[in-house]
Amino acid sequence: MNINYLERDGKPTLAYIYTPAAQEGKPRPLVMFLGGYRSDMNGTKATYFEQRCIARGQAFLRFDYSGHGKSDGKFEDGTIGAWAADVTDVLNHAQGDQKAILVGSSMGGWIALLAARANAHDIHALIGIAAAPDFTEEIYHQRLDAAQRKTLMETGIVTVENDYSDEPYSFTRDFYEDGKSNLVLSQSQNLSFPLHLFQGMQDKDVPPETATKIAEIYGLNSSAITFIKDGDHRLSRPQDLERIDQAIESMSA
């Protein structure tokens, strides 16, 4: 797959891979995958859903947020709001007149909700995989102790233990404050398209209650939740991926 680059005035250049729909067959919405925190577009889920979409002739788009993967920019300069704007820029560049299904994993679920709100008329459906909206609040209030919170406010940065690597990651005051201005679970929201959430019951990062709260905030009538009893946060096992892809295909009809 050839990597394309979207150059933007005053913003980091973004790397993306777009596979157009096959000419034959019935039209289906474009599927756009939004990865998680520090993930890139070559992850297991992104490449799996791409291959499944190619197999059925469906357009697919994956990309790297600024400061991630092949895109320009420093990771430490990124914020939820900036990465949501990245989604809008790439989507508007590649989408054409197609409706889109946003598939957001972990942090990508939060960003998908923001991007869907900003581009509501272009969205066909939204799928969340262990969606983690408003997680900056959980980090600040539950994972940081009083001393770390004081350090964050005084110096602008603090290190946080990384459950997936021996190397801790940096949590900045700008990232936290931007997250606070982009919270999506503080009041009821209206959706003009369906939302399907996939949530592992063995997820150590996002509690199952988060999926329930998202559905309540965005309307139970337009939301569906699939709880996977033995699923973890990644939901990247073959059976998990197949189940999510079935939802993508079903919602594409």
Q: Which residues pair with 195 in a beta bridge?
A: 126, 223
The active-site residue, picked from 68, 105, 178, 233, is 233
The confidence score (pLDDT) of residue 221 equals 80
- Alpha-carbon distance of 165 to 169, in angstroms, equals 9
Catalytic residue chosen out of the listed positions 122, 203, 205, 240: 203
Give the pLDDT score at 164. 65
The whole-model pTM stands at 0.95
Contacts of 235 (CB under 8 A, 6+ apart): 45, 105, 129, 130, 198, 200, 228, 241, 244
Domains of the chain: 4-133+192-251 (3.40.50.1820), 135-182 (no CATH)
Q: 192 in helix, strand or coil?
A: coil
Q: What is the mean pLDDT of the chain?
A: 94
Q: Which of 39, 106, 223, 252 is catalytic?
A: 106
Known catalytic residue at 106: yes
- Whole-number pLDDT of residue 191: 82
List, for the chain, all residue ranges whose pLDDT scores fall below the cut of 70: 25, 163-165
Residue 97: predicted pLDDT: 85
